[in-house]
């Protein structure tokens, strides 16, 4: 079957003039930047741009491609936000309140450890088919979550979906870079992110509607029919493939296997699993001085040390090249971005639990109650992007973001049974506005400070860091939440068995505790335990304030003008 680009020659793929490989490189913004990294250290990139004429997608095929990519990214962001309002019902059905952190951390962990591999996969293999394979993995994970008959099965499904998401995040931007010239990419990226952001806004509402009027399982089933529609569109679009250097007699798959740092991947995965398991079971199912917990913590430290030595030995062929990650703008941006995203994920999981458990809101109403946070994020993100383009400097926005979100999470940690509507709306508005004005700044800092060949690696490291830190913070929060309930319920309501309340799940409290003074005491303990999880967000954001200054004071208008 021919692609649309072949069927409609007038709007199909067009050559982009006769440019040498070096001219293509020089046409990228920042190729003359003072922070440039030696081009020769990135052989895959130089092989992609030498001795070829770039081809671009135009007209109808480009429109179809953008629709498909936007739907995919919409589903990815929807999947991240839709589960928040469904989590209380899930914990009640599976009696798995202690697993709340794993619903998010398994997803983030899987995405984090696979993220560094996706760059080499897209650089070596066919982009369209690689993208479709990652999308298939995401769909399989969604199916497993939908049919899950236990909390463990749901966690496995979330991990599988996270592997797919790792490739979709990187792949969407990579395909746009392949499909369109530089001058059009900013607009296309803006369209992609703008449309996909609606997934965050609609997630709590859709999740609440499914949970209240049907079943939480449709929060995952919804990905399946839309996924089939997207796959059909992508099959009819030809995505140009830059020529790749492959040794004579060797396939692309063998070239990928040869280039991938598999030992680094195994070490990183082992470190993450050991650390998260220790944080998850420590103080919950096992005491912190248990040999198992101590062994896991010690094993994670040893594995991390071995991983770092191996990455140093591998040099620029490592999963995480030290030549990039040691640049100040990159590692400071990673920490700021990771701390901000960790706080965002913590709030997206535990604020719905507060609304449904303490305030006795339905699933759909808890989604409505989170709209101040979400809408403020979207408006602030779009507005700050426009203003940064005009004003030039991104650092003031990132500083303001860190301060606003740290203050707002501290205020949110005071939520209790007597919190007024004005308070929970105002605190969420403050957090959403702060998050929105800062969430894109670390990425912008990397794009404006590094040479073009280094930017894809830096973006992959940024995404990896936020996934990894978010997974760790969610695991810590889950353990802290459970431990807090075990400690606080006997203090606030001595006559109530903490195990019965925890086993009932977030929405089952009123089934095990009758209405009256005792219930008020249990809800007070519950709100205090939820507030303790927000201290993690406040602490991480406060730490980010020390690193935000390392992102640099740079006027992006100067670089943009020079690039033009």
Tens-place pLDDT, residues 397-425: 899 999 999 999 999 999 988 889 999 99
User: Stretch 3-25: mean pLDDT, rounded?
Assistant: 39
330 and 311 in a common domain: no
Domain end, chosen from 318, 336, 365, is at: 318
Pairwise pLDDT comparison (37 vs 227), residue with the higher score = 227
Q: What is the pLDDT of residue 423?
A: 92
Q: What is the pLDDT of residue 4?
A: 39
373 and 421 in a common domain: yes
Residues 68-80 have pLDDT tens digits of 888 888 888 888 7
Residue 47 forms part of a structural domain: no
Range 26-43 burial, b when 16+ CB lie within 10 A, else e? ebbbbbebebebebebbe
> For position 201, which CATH number holds?
1.20.1250.20
283 and 366 in a common domain: no
Please report, in angstroms and rounded to a whole number, the separation of the first and last CA atoms in the chain: 40
Q: What is the pLDDT of residue 195?
A: 67
User: Stretch 41-47: mean pLDDT, rounded?
Assistant: 40
Phi, psi of 56 (to 5 degrees): -120, 155
Q: Which of 156, 151, 159, 147 shows the shortest CA–CA distance to 97?
A: 151
465 and 338 in a common domain: yes
Check if the beta carbon of residue 444 is closer than 8 Å to that of residue 328: no
Residue 383 forms part of a structural domain: yes
The pLDDT > 70 percentage for the chain reads 79
Task: Please say whether the dihedral angle defined by the alpha carbons of residues 117, 119, 124 and 126, taken in this order, is positive or negative.
Answer: positive
pTM value > 0.85: no
Phi, psi of 282 (to 5 degrees): -65, 120
302 and 335 in a common domain: no
- Across 18-22, 23-27, 448-452, which has the greatest mean pLDDT? 448-452
283 and 202 in a common domain: no
Range 375-390 burial, b when 16+ CB lie within 10 A, else e? bbbbebbbebbeebee
210 and 311 in a common domain: no
Residue 45 forms part of a structural domain: no
Percentages helix, strand, coil for the chain (3-state, rounded to 5) are 80, 0, 20
Domain extent, residue 61, equals 53-240+251-257
Q: How many domains does the chain have?
A: 3
455 and 346 in a common domain: yes
274 and 149 in a common domain: no
Residue 217 forms part of a structural domain: yes
423 and 470 in a common domain: yes
Residues 255-278 have pLDDT tens digits of 666 667 788 888 888 888 888 778
449 and 310 in a common domain: no
232 and 170 in a common domain: yes
Range 58-79 burial, b when 16+ CB lie within 10 A, else e? bebbbebbbbbbbbbbbbbbbb
User: Stretch 455-466: mean pLDDT, rounded?
Assistant: 77
């Amino acid at each position: 079957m021919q692609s649309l680009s072949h069927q409609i020659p007038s709007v199909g793929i067009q050559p982009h003039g006769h440019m040498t490989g070096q001219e293509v490189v020089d046409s990228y913004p920042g190729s003359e930047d003072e922070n440039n990294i030696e081009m020769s250290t990135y052989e895959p990139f130089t092989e992609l741009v030498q001795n070829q004429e770039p081809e671009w997608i135009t007209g109808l095929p480009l429109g179809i491609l953008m629709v498909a990519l936007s739907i995919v990214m919409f589903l990815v962001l929807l999947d991240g936000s839709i589960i928040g309002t469904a989590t209380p019902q899930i914990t009640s059905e599976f009696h798995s309140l202690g697993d709340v952190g794993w619903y998010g951390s398994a997803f983030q962990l899987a995405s984090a450890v696979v993220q560094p591999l996706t760059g080499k996969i897209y650089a070596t293999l066919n982009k369209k088919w690689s993208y479709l394979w990652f999308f298939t993995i995401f769909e399989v994970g969604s199916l497993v979550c939908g049919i899950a008959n236990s909390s463990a099965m749901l966690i496995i499904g979330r991990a599988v979906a996270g592997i797919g998401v790792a490739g979709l995040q990187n792949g969407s931007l990579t395909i746009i870079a392949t499909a369109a010239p530089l001058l059009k990419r900013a607009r296309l990226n803006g369209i992609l992110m703008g449309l996909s952001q609606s997934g965050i806004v609609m997630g709590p509402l859709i999740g609440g509607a499914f949970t209240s009027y049907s079943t939480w399982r449709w929060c995952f089933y919804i990905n399946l029919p839309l996924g089939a529609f997207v796959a059909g569109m992508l099959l009819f679009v030809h995505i140009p493939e830059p020529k790749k250097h492959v040794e004579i007699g060797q396939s692309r798959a063998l070239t990928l296997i040869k280039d991938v740092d598999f030992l680094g991947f195994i070490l990183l995965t082992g470190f993450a699993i050991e650390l998260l398991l220790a944080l998850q079971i420590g103080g919950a199912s096992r005491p912190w001085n248990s040999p198992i917990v101590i062994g896991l913590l010690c094993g994670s430290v040893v594995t991390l040390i071995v991983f770092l030595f191996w990455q140093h030995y591998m040099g620029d062929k490592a999963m995480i090249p030290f030549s990039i990650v040691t640049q100040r703008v990159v590692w400071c941006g990673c920490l700021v971005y990771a701390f901000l995203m960790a706080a965002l994920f913590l709030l997206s999981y535990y604020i719905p639990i507060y609304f449904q458990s303490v305030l006795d809101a339905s699933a759909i109403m808890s989604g409505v109650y989170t709209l101040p946070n979400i809408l403020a994020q979207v408006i602030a993100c779009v507005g700050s992007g426009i203003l940064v383009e005009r004003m030039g400097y991104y650092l003031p926005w990132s500083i303001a973001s860190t301060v606003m979100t740290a203050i707002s999470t501290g205020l949110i940690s005071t939520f209790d049974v007597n919190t007024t509507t004005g308070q929970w709306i105002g605190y969420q508005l403050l957090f959403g506005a702060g998050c929105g004005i800062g969430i894109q700044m670390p990425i912008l800092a990397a794009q404006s400070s590094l040479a073009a060949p280094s930017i894809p690696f830096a973006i992959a490291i940024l995404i990896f860091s936020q996934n990894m830190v978010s997974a760790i913070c969610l695991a810590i929060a889950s353990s802290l939440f459970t431990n807090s309930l075990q400690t606080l319920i006997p203090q606030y309501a001595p006559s109530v068995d903490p195990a019965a309340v925890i086993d009932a799940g977030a929405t089952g409290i009123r089934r095990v505790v009758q209405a009256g003074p005792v219930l008020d005491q249990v809800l007070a303990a519950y709100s205090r335990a939820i507030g303790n999880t927000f201290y993690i967000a406040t602490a991480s954001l406060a730490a980010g304030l020390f690193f935000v200054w390392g992102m640099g004071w740079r006027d992006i208008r100067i670089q943009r003008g020079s690039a033009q």
